[in-house]
Structure 1
Amino acid sequence: MDNAKSQKKVKIAYIYYSLQFFVKQDLDLLSKHFTVHEFNFKSIFDIFKLILVVRKSDITYSWFAGGHSFLAVVLSKLLRKKSIVIAGGGDVASLPEIDYGAMRKYKRSRFFSKFVLKYADVVLAVSEFTKGEVLRWQKPKKMEVIYNGIDTKEKQCAHNKEDMVVTIANRYKLKGIKTFIEASAHFPNSAFVIIGSVGYDINYSPSNVIITGKITNDEVIKWLSKSKVYCQLSYYESFGMGLAEAMACGCVPVATNRAALPEVVGDTGILVPYDDTVAAVEAIKSAFEMDGTRARDRVCNQFELDKRENKLVDIITFLMQNRQN
């Protein structure tokens, strides 16, 4: 009880641009243990409000290295606070061939990201792959890998899986949608479901392709729970939250052999090259004959949400104990 009271005395400025699912997830986790001041930084005109929030906090916690976390780290230094930054993927990527990543040349974001990675008290990478990406640009003072977490208790499998293939995507080239649609033509009797708000026109897809648009998380889980196979045919993923959620729902993973995806899949699915429809088709055929139990077990053992929660609490406790350094 005394420890809980002591934790609640710790005040965290929780700073973000966009309240994506995993950003809100951390917000909820930290709010269970600490006093959290949530701050949605939208523009430079928010800087005076940000100063007030940082001033009344002990630690700043920012998702992604960027302009908002640049200000958070600078203010933390000036006001003698500690700073944590989550390296989440796109903030440490440079992929001009697909027009993706904050570290591309001639982008202002590159300066902000490199500054943040160098001067934040702690940088937390969401995968070993992302840790390697960080080290391409800077050597942080302290860096740890804390995987994104999946609440496996709410992710349950249907007893009778359907011969259905699902992917979660919102960017055409980055997420490998072309390969997914081309592969669907080889399975006319199986539904191929694209979950997400599609920001592009798909006017050549076979009749078995379903595009859900933006749906609730509960609806996503319903699709994943009855699907036999999940595809993550991406060019780049810093972790792959959709992939890990699908595995937790008992889907057999078919993913590209790029970035952090092999790290998540392990030996529970099938890896294929990016933009290789033939390989994807053969992998999906094999995946239909596999059981997703091992995929779920891997998520339960490696990426359970409780693990992330405990490690985040440990890091914050460490910083508070060493705040004079």
Structure 2
Amino acid sequence: MSLPNIPTIIPSIDIDRGQVINLLLASIALEELFRKLDYYAVTCPKKVVTVSSFVDPKLPPIAKEKHVVVHSGIDTSLFHPKDKSYLPVRIATSGFLEYHKGYDLLLDALTILKKEGYQYEVLMFGAGSELEAFQSMIKKENLPVSLRGHVSRDVLAKELQDIDIFVQSSRIENFGLSITEAMACGCVPVCSKVGGILD
């Protein structure tokens, strides 16, 4: 049986391999399976599309002539700016409250700013495994941070229109769609120089 000669798009699946491997007792066979899948994912297709020029260094190299970057798009009818004229400065961040997002770094920076006398208020949108640790740090340092939990995209878009600065303090990031959405709402981005954020 031969396959039809029809262009096919196979979307990637964003999974945390380490987590999967831990759950399955670090199976050597599973690690090898991921290696093979990664190899076929970048060598077999005629084109490999990524959301940024950043490619995870754990993946096999992608040939330049095969690599196409298509940045994630946003709905500008939903994410757009409005006039802002109030104090103190309002800061926001959104995403999964996980270690790789670097929110502990943001809270450290906010602690320093507070000690230096800066006035600000922060909204953190998202949920995740680090929530209790962040709650504890916010309480300990008495930071003006409001944890809003997970919200719909409509709610987030409206909230971002009242924000001055959007912070993404990630340790690693494939693209950072939330940064683009915040910029579309008129927020000034302050971000880590990692992964696809540089795009």
Please say whether Structure 1 and Structure 2 have the same fold, judged by a TM-score greater than 0.5. yes
1:243 matched residue in structure 2: 179
Q: Look up the match of 2:44.
A: 119
- Give the secondary-structure state (helix, strand or coil) at the position aligned to 1:83: coil
Find the partner of 1:194 among 110, 124, 136.
124
Residue among 89, 92, 98 paired with 1:172: 98
Change (3 A) 1:140 1:86: farther
TM-superposed CA distance for 1:116, in Å, is 2.0
Q: Matched residue of 1:174: which SS?
A: helix
Compute the displacement of 1:135 (Å).
Answer: 7.5
CA distance in 2, matches of 1:262, 1:252: 15
The answer to whether the aligner puts 1:229 opposite 2:155 as a matched pair is no
Contact kept, 8 Å, 1:87 with 1:123, in 2: the verdict is: no
Partner of 1:148: 72
2: CA distance, partners of 1:112 / 1:135: 10
Give ranges in structure 2 of 5+ residues lacking alignment: 23-29
1:256 is aligned to 192
Residue number in structure 1 paired with 2:25: none
| Alpha-carbon distance between aligned partners in 1 of 2:164 and 2:31, rounded to the nearest angstrom | 44
Q: Supply the distance in 1 between the matched residues of 2:62 and 2:150 (Cα, whole angstroms).
A: 36
Partner of 1:85: 10
Q: 2:53 — aligned with what?
A: 128
Indicate conservation of the 8 Å contact 2:78/2:154, yes or no. Answer: no
Once the two structures are TM-superposed, the CA of residue 123 in structure 1 deviates from its matched residue by: 1.7
SS in 1 for 2:101: coil
**Counterpart amino acid of residue 197 in structure 1:** A
**Which residue in the other structure is 1:34 paired with?**
none
Indicate the residue corresponding to 2:137 in structure 1.
204
Distance 2:32 2:93 in 1: 31
Determine whether 1:184 maps to 2:184: no
Tell me the equivalent position of 1:301.
Answer: none
| In 1, Cα distance between equivalents of 2:144 and 2:51 | 35
Cα offsets for 1:80-131 (capped at 9, x unmatched): 543223458x56x9999xx9xxxxx93633322221222234321111223x
Secondary structure in structure 1 of the residue aligned to 2:170? coil
> Root-mean-square deviation (CA), in Å?
3.2
Per-residue deviation, 1:195: 0.7
- TM superposition score normalised by structure 2: 0.74
Q: What is the rounded CA distance, in whole Å, between the counterparts of 2:7 and 2:183 in structure 1?
A: 36
Kept in 2, the 8 Å contact 1:118–1:140? The answer is no
Measured in 1, the distance between the counterparts of 2:168 and 2:32 equals 28
Question: Deviation per CA, 1:275-303, whole angstroms, max 9, x where unpaired?
Answer: xxxxxxxxxxxxxxxxxxxxxxxxxxxxx
Other-structure match for 1:267: none
- What fraction of aligned residue pairs are identical, expressed as a percent? 22
TM-score, normalised relative to structure 1: 0.47
The one-letter code of the counterpart of 2:166 is: Y
Verify the 8 A CA contact 1:86 1:124 in the aligned structure 2: no
Q: Give the direction of change, closer, same or farther, for the CA distance of 1:255–1:95 in structure 2 (3 Å limit).
A: farther
Write the mapping of 1:1-325 to structure 2, written as runs, cut at 5 A. 78=3, 80-86=5-11, 106=31, 108-130=33-55, 136-139=60-63, 142-162=66-86, 163-185=89-111, 186-187=113-114, 189-200=119-130, 201=132, 202=134, 203-205=136-138, 206-263=142-199
Contact residue 166 and residue 182 of structure 2 kept, 8 A: yes
Q: Please say if residues 97 and 126 of structure 2, whose CA atoms lie closer than 8 Å, have aligned partners that are also in contact.
A: no
Structure 1 residues 135 and 110, CA gap change in structure 2 (3 angstroms): closer
Cα 1:95/1:244, change in 2 over 3 Å = farther
SS of 1:127's equivalent in the other structure is: coil
Distance in 2 (CA, whole Å) between partners of 1:237 and 1:217 is: 20
